[in-house]
Structure 1
Amino acid sequence: MPAFSPQLLAEWTTGQWMGAQPNTEIRGFCHDTRKLRPGDCFVALKTEQRDGHDFLASARDAGAAAALVSNPREDIYFPQLVVEDSLLAFQTIAHQHRHAFSGKVIGVTGSCGKTSTKDLLAHLLGASCLRTEKNLNNTLGVPLTLTSIDPDKHEYAVVEAGINQPGEMTVLGGMIAPDFAVVTMIGPAHMEKLGSMANIAHEKAELIRFAVPGASLFCGGDCLKYEAFHHFSGEIFAVCETCEESPALDYTEYRSCFRFFREGETTRVQIFSALFAGQFVINAVLTSGMVSNVVLAVLTAIRCGAKWPSIEQRLLTWQPGADRGAVYHFQDNLYYVDCYNANPASMRDALDTFAALTPPEMPRLYVLGGMKELGDSTELMHRKVGAELTFRPEDRAVLVGDEGEAYADGLREAGAQPAQLTLAIDTASAHDAVDGFSGALFLKGSRAYALEALLPAGVLKQKEAAAC
């Protein structure tokens, strides 16, 4: 468990203790009194919804050793470190604690695949690796992760960085200061606030601007199309798919290639890289994008010092997270479930995999939920996904959400007839069209639609069993 000196916290934040400072070291940080552990420092944050300073008494009663505050309460007898801005002070503490850590910090970002890549990389690095829990990847989640680093326990920290507006990665990158940076890909996600692909690339590349001297970058090959990535002077391992059996590599550029083959419901992967050349098997059906992220995780783990025999064994026990391209069979139906989230790049990737996986004689039902945060490109992006779909006379589509009409416009361009398409305003309204279908079912959309609610009880039981 990490330990923080009250005096050091005051120095780092240029804050002052009101009254007596704690007589013990701080053992961690928490902003939610319901999750607070005895010995934690309660971070009192003020948001539009609530003011954490209203919960100081609750934090004290729950066993907090102190509180980080911008609005001290003299009527509550409790050590309070008074600062100008609680969140900024907490981020400063995280920054300082990260730089006091002698182990390796790996920052992971990208337009999609961040969480599964982070989880796999941490799995490959083993018990001495701290990782971002769930998706605590924002301006509050990153300092919560970094302040959880225990120098007596951890050799590595894999920290996920997620953004949806300009300037956020500057804050996150400054805290993470990665020894190794992983950027999965640049795609049309969070366009509503980021505006363009070039802007997205610029923001993602901010992570590597804050990398420590001698850092390495592992990225999807398409990242290097963007000028924002050309300013990185460290070693780069850019990953791309190849069709060649023995691709010629320019090792001076550290270019890495992969091939993959689906064998039933497993995936065999071959890597050709300056770091590693070999193959391995994953016990899951993976899309091309997912394979790219697996390769990034493997190469990063090797660069961190992990040994191949350990990596190979850990790969055999890894599965993508829940609702990320899972395949189920129930009552002669095949279900491809990828409901965790969606943007145009991940949607196309999943659709290609579903088409390759499904026996040609099976009718297909495409349950497509809307893709959120695309801004002015929303209608165009949905229409393009529909227009690119190979839609046969025996196939059907259920289009969920406000974006459904744009999907339908594209599908009609692809030759779909009105009788083949069902528009549903929300997930609950889609049940009748989904429940009566026999064949192969594809479910993918943004998290807001929670399309997994359309799965039959038999598939839900399989999901629960797989999670155990």
Structure 2
Amino acid sequence: MELRIREVVEALEGRLLEGNPEKRVVGVSTDSRTLEAGQLFFALKGKRYDGHDFIEEVKRKGASGAVIQREVGRIGFSLIKVENTLHALGRLASFWRDRLKGVVIGITGSCGKTTTKEMITHLLSLGGLKVSKSPKSYNNQVGLPLSLLWASPEDEAIVLEMGMSSFGEISYLSRIARPKLGVITNIGPVHLEGVSDLKGVQRAKSELLHGMKSDSILIYNEDDPLVREIAQSFEGEKVSFGKSSKTTISAEDIKVTEKGVSFTLRVPSENIRVSTRVLGEGGVYCSLAASSVAMVMGIPLEKIGEGLSSFEPLPMRGCMVRLRDFWIIEDCYNSNPMSLRSALNVLSLASGRKIAVLGDMAELGSLADVYHKEVGRWCAQLGIDALFLLGKWAESIASGAIEEGFKGFLFIGKDHAEIGKALKEYLREGDFVLLKGSRIMEMEKVKGFLEEE
């Protein structure tokens, strides 16, 4: 982003307290630690830190100015006063959005958003397009505006992720991004604390449509009945994906192994055999969503197939890692009932002993006990050989497994070290280990103990 201070003041309807209105702004930052010279600093107030306490620091680092919501005294560089710096960040992103010439692609859903975003970026880049994307999981009221502000008018596609923990959040993000292509991956029991139940998740995800115009295109999962209902309410052009030949883009003759998936990708009038190392059914649907976007963007089918096979799964998001003489399915970036069921299905296909190392699934509200018991039942039904459990809901998983007739090895640990020690003693050559838990559980720490000789 390149603007003058006066343009920023005008866009934010703020007040320039001091500084040169013709000063050039090159980019924005909300983090004083990573701010680069020329960037405009937004002083956000968080739970632990207040950006206003770092104004002197960002001035020393060469910031072009700062956007503030409370007085900080005269500093000697450009200060723009607004009512709310978080809202101002969104407002500037919306202003900058109008200057972007590329196709804005907005992705939401309960599972697979980040993998789908990365896969879309990979396919479009391989097809020769200049692509900008949300870094990491920048999908909230800070991350999405920053992602837009970091995009260039020369970018041909801007791929954005939209998450939520309560109603209104995706609506806010969608109205800022105004996607030309909207993608809904699926709807499952995630963030229930903020939206109560599955219907609440559906309502929150449907807010993606709030920023889409009549000439926008909705790309959606036809196999998910709740997503299908959302699509029915959209009056613009639609592209469906799923396992049925009735969808615009479909996956047929699917072969799932513990190393990845392969299937016949069918698009209107063409088909190709493809494979991906993204594991399980989730790998199929992420591939279908990404392929749908690529098709709409004019990428040839052959390039799409090439891109799916060359795509590298993201760390901690379902990647297969060999450690000495056993395999680890490292899927511990996050967890919810939908993604965990998919991961257990992958584990159940393993040729060796099937070991699930599970931590809590967060933000399930009053249904946490119910869903964790359900996980235990799935483990018993799928023939999992051993369960190593950690967290507040470990007993619920164990209870569900035992009720369903689980006969395998069961261990509940008090911390990562205890789990790691017990697991090392249990492991033998050819085993497959699934690491899965919500981000707060940091289940990757178990892998750290396994790596120690």
The TM-score with structure 2 as length reference comes to 0.92
Residue matched to 1:299: 292
Q: 1:305 to 1:36 in 2, by over 3 A?
A: same
Quick check: 1:427–1:449 contact (8 Å CA) kept in 2?
A: no
Aligned length: 446
Residue matched to 1:465: none
CA distance in 2, matches of 1:456, 1:65: 42
Residue matched to 2:355: 365
- Which residue identity is paired with 2:201? I
Cα displacement string for residues 221-275 of structure 1 (whole angstroms, at most 9, x for unaligned residues): 2444354442211222232225xxxx4x26xxx4644442247835322122338
Matches within 5 A, 1:298-377: 298-356=291-349, 358-359=350-351, 362-377=352-367
Shift of 1:339: 1.2
CA distance in 1, matches of 2:384, 2:13: 68
Quick check: 2:166–2:191 contact (8 Å CA) kept in 1?
A: yes
Residue matched to 1:454: 446
Quick check: 1:258–1:269 contact (8 Å CA) kept in 2?
A: yes
Quick check: 2:40–2:63 contact (8 Å CA) kept in 1?
A: yes
Q: 1:260 to 1:422 in 2, by over 3 A?
A: same
Shift of 1:64: 0.5
Query: Pick from 140, 144, 147: which aligns with 2:146?
Result: 144
Residue matched to 2:236: 234
Q: 1:457 to 1:401 in 2, by over 3 A?
A: closer
Residue matched to 2:3: 4
Residue matched to 1:206: 207
Quick check: 1:38–1:63 contact (8 Å CA) kept in 2?
A: yes
CA distance in 2, matches of 1:26, 1:424: 52
- Which residue identity is paired with 1:173? S
CA distance in 2, matches of 1:293, 1:140: 25
CA distance in 1, matches of 2:251, 2:353: 35
Q: 1:67 to 1:276 in 2, by over 3 A?
A: farther
Residue matched to 2:160: 159
Q: 1:387 to 1:205 in 2, by over 3 A?
A: same
Quick check: 1:275–1:302 contact (8 Å CA) kept in 2?
A: no
Query: Pick from 256, 267, 271: which aligns with 2:261?
Result: 267
1:420 and 2:409 are equivalent in the alignment: yes
CA distance in 2, matches of 1:310, 1:17: 50
Secondary structure class of the residue paired with 2:387: strand
CA distance in 2, matches of 1:278, 1:212: 33
Q: 1:453 to 1:21 in 2, by over 3 A?
A: same
Shift of 1:336: 2.1
- Which residue identity is paired with 1:382? H
CA distance in 1, matches of 2:258, 2:335: 25
Q: 1:432 to 1:50 in 2, by over 3 A?
A: closer
Quick check: 2:420–2:450 contact (8 Å CA) kept in 1?
A: no
CA distance in 2, matches of 1:302, 1:351: 31
Quick check: 1:426–1:449 contact (8 Å CA) kept in 2?
A: no
RMSD of aligned residue pairs (Cα, Å): 2.3
Unmatched tracts of structure 1, length 5 or more = 462-468
Residue matched to 1:466: none
1:289 and 2:274 are equivalent in the alignment: no
Shift of 1:317: 2.2
Cα displacement string for residues 319-366 of structure 1 (whole angstroms, at most 9, x for unaligned residues): 11012222233444232221111100111111111112x12xx33322
- Which residue identity is paired with 1:213? S
CA distance in 2, matches of 1:210, 1:276: 32
Residue matched to 2:182: 181
Quick check: 2:220–2:231 contact (8 Å CA) kept in 1?
A: no
Matches within 5 A, 1:190-201: 190-201=191-202
Q: Percent identity?
A: 29
